[in-house]
């Protein structure tokens, strides 16, 4: 058997073994929620369309949970009211799997190409690992929309914005009209001075909201004047599944959580985020901007259930990306891989649920907020990088620095791009990867890999 065939056979066997191992893990570790949230959507839409009730008056029988999204989300989900329940489940799961696969491919394929890995094998392994990831399996088991919203945002930040497409911002706007929390990415665009994209996002969100208002005036009035402010429909802030800064504060004093302490934590977190995002965008590192803002959203949102933490997936993948780019056998590579593995394993483990009933004391405080500590670590420690230009040339050529995927990025502010790092003896057309570590003194630049040909 030829070497290539043996390698392919080995990879197929490895994927099958990993898939079986993940399936066995899920059979033990995964909690079955019976598509609880999807049942809420389905029930509310059925009540609204077929029973002629008000969508925001609906509560799932035996619970206080009802439809909490803006009317535009109801418009997007409206076809669900005309599907049988099994078909609604199939569409929900299939849509989540497809957009997850595309997003993982966008983030990992450049890594595989640069490292010379078999691309289908990398994707297959990554999807198996994603299936074991607690926020992902919770998203699927609840029938949630998190990955669909992340995909809409990623279309803008990973595809349209780096290419200078005039439609950049539409995905963020639509995601914000479906669920308000992705609106933090409009703030991201403003903080990083992409005003045209921010205006496009605002316009898209406003247009979608106004369309829903024109079609469903009663539902729109009910949402903005009543349902939006009814926190009882969301759940208890101190519940261990709420892995946000608000949840941390609430678990310190469930009866009287300090709003002032929460706001102070939010302001400090926003300052760190704004500093790091501006540094990332200055060197064309849009993927890290996406990852940092996803982590921020999880931290500052009043309620971040465990399934919302799928917004950390880009950060985890970029940790691996940075580790692969670091020198083989070096401390940096080992540290980044260790951080990625620890974060991933903890986010698969359901560790916070060990303190579901009692989160008092030092151990309870540290353990019940484990996922918050991970979000903070990713926000503070995720490296910021860029591609340097071929030796003897200006970084990124006339248009600006070259990105992770080998495409040319628009130039950042003057002086933001790194200097070429190759030696005089390197051949033409070879680039070297450089990290711009904005957290170190004077923005010191550290070579993190040998010469790499961008494919």
pLDDT tens for the chain, 455 residues: list them. Answer: 577 888 999 999 999 999 999 999 999 888 888 999 999 999 999 999 999 899 999 999 988 889 999 999 999 999 999 999 999 999 999 999 999 999 999 999 999 999 999 999 999 999 999 999 999 999 999 999 999 999 999 999 999 999 999 999 999 999 999 999 999 999 999 999 999 999 999 999 999 999 999 999 999 999 999 888 876 656 689 999 999 999 999 999 999 999 999 999 999 999 999 999 999 999 999 999 999 999 999 999 999 999 999 999 999 999 999 999 999 889 999 999 999 999 999 999 999 999 999 999 999 999 999 999 999 999 999 999 865 433 333 333 333 444 454 444 444 433 333 333 333 333 333 333 444 443 333 333 333 333 332 22
Q: How far apart are CA 410 and CA 293, in angstroms?
A: 20
Q: Tell how far CA 59 is from the center of its chain.
A: 29
Among 343, 278, 274, 334, CA closest to 315: 343
Q: Where are the alpha helices (DSSP H) in 255-330?
A: 259-282, 286-300, 313-325
DSSP, res 233: G
Rounded-to-integer distance, Cα 328 and Cα 281, Å: 27
d(Cα 156, Cα 138) in Å, to the nearest integer?
Answer: 25
How far apart are alpha carbons 281 and 288 in whole angstroms?
A: 8
Look at residue 48 and give its three-state secondary structure.
Answer: helix
Cα dihedral 322, 324, 328, 334, rounded to 10, equals: 60
Residue pair 353/369 in contact (Cβ under 8 Å)? The answer is no
């Amino acid at each position: 058997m030829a070497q290539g065939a043996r390698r392919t056979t080995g990879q197929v066997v490895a994927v099958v073994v990993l898939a079986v191992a993940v399936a066995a893990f899920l059979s033990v570790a995964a909690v079955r929620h019976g598509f609880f949230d999807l049942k809420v959507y389905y029930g509310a839409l059925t009540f609204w369309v077929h029973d002629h009730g008000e969508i925001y008056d609906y509560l799932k029988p035996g619970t206080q949970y009802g439809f909490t999204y803006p009317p535009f989300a109801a418009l997007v989900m409206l076809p669900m009211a005309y599907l049988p329940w099994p078909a609604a489940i199939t569409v929900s799961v299939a849509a989540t799997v497809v957009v997850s696969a595309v997003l993982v491919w966008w983030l990992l394929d450049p890594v595989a190409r640069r490292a010379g890995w078999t691309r289908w094998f990398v994707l297959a392994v990554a999807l198996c690992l994603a299936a074991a990831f607690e926020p992902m399996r919770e998203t699927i088991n609840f029938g949630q929309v998190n990955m669909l919203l992340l995909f809409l945002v990623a279309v803008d930040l990973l595809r349209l914005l780096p290419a200078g497409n005039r439609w950049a911002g539409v995905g963020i706007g639509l995601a914000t009209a479906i669920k308000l929390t992705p609106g933090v990415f409009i703030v991201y665009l403003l903080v990083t001075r992409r005003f045209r994209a921010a205006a496009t996002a605002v316009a898209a969100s406003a247009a979608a909201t106004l369309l829903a208002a024109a079609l469903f005036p009663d539902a729109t009035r009910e949402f903005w004047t009543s349902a939006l402010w009814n926190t009882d429909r969301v759940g208890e802030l101190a519940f261990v599944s709420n892995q946000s800064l608000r949840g941390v504060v609430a678990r310190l004093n469930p009866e009287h959580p300090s709003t002032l302490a929460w706001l102070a934590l939010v302001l400090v977190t926003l300052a760190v985020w704004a500093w790091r995002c501006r540094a990332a965008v200055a060197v064309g590192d849009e993927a890290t901007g996406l990852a940092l803002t996803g982590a921020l959203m999880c931290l500052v949102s009043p309620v971040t259930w465990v399934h919302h933490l799928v917004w950390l997936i880009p950060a985890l993948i970029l940790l691996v990306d940075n580790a692969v780019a670091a020198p083989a056998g070096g401390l940096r590579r080992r540290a980044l891989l260790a951080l990625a593995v620890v974060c991933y394993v903890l986010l698969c483990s359901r560790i916070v649920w060990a303190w579901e009933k009692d989160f008092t004391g030092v151990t309870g405080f540290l353990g019940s907020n484990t996922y918050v500590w991970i979000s903070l670590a990713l926000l503070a420690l995720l490296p910021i990088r860029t591609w340097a230009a071929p030796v003897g040339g200006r970084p990124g050529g006339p248009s600006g620095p070259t990105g992770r995927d080998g495409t040319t990025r628009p130039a950042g502010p003057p002086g933001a791009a790194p200097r070429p790092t190759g030696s005089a003896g390197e051949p033409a057309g070879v680039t070297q990867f450089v990290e711009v570590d904005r957290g170190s003194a004077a923005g010191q630049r550290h070579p993190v890999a040998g010469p790499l040909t961008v494919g």
